[in-house]
Amino acid sequence: MARLAAELATMMKESGSTVVFTGAGISTESGIPDFRSPGGIWSQSKPVFFDEFLRSAEARRESWRQKEIVHRDFSQAAPNAGHRAIARWESAGLIDGVITQNIDGLHQAAGNEAVLELHGTARAIACLTCEARYDVDSMMNLFRQTGEPPECPQCGGYLKSATVSFGQPLPEDILLDSIRMAEQCELFLAIGSSLVVEPAASLPRSAKRRGARLIIINRDSTPLDDQADRVYREAIGAFLTEVDQLLRR
Catalytic positions are 119
Q: How far is the CB of 153 from Zn ion (least distance, A)?
A: 8
Q: How far is the CB of 106 from Zn ion (least distance, A)?
A: 28
Pick 168 or 227: Cβ nearer Zn ion:
168
Pick 161 or 178: Cβ nearer Zn ion:
161
The site for Zn ion (CB under 5 A) is made up of: 127, 129-130, 132, 152, 154-155, 157
Pick 115 or 140: Cβ nearer Zn ion:
140
Residue 25 and residue 192 in contact, taking contact as beta carbons nearer than 8 Å: yes
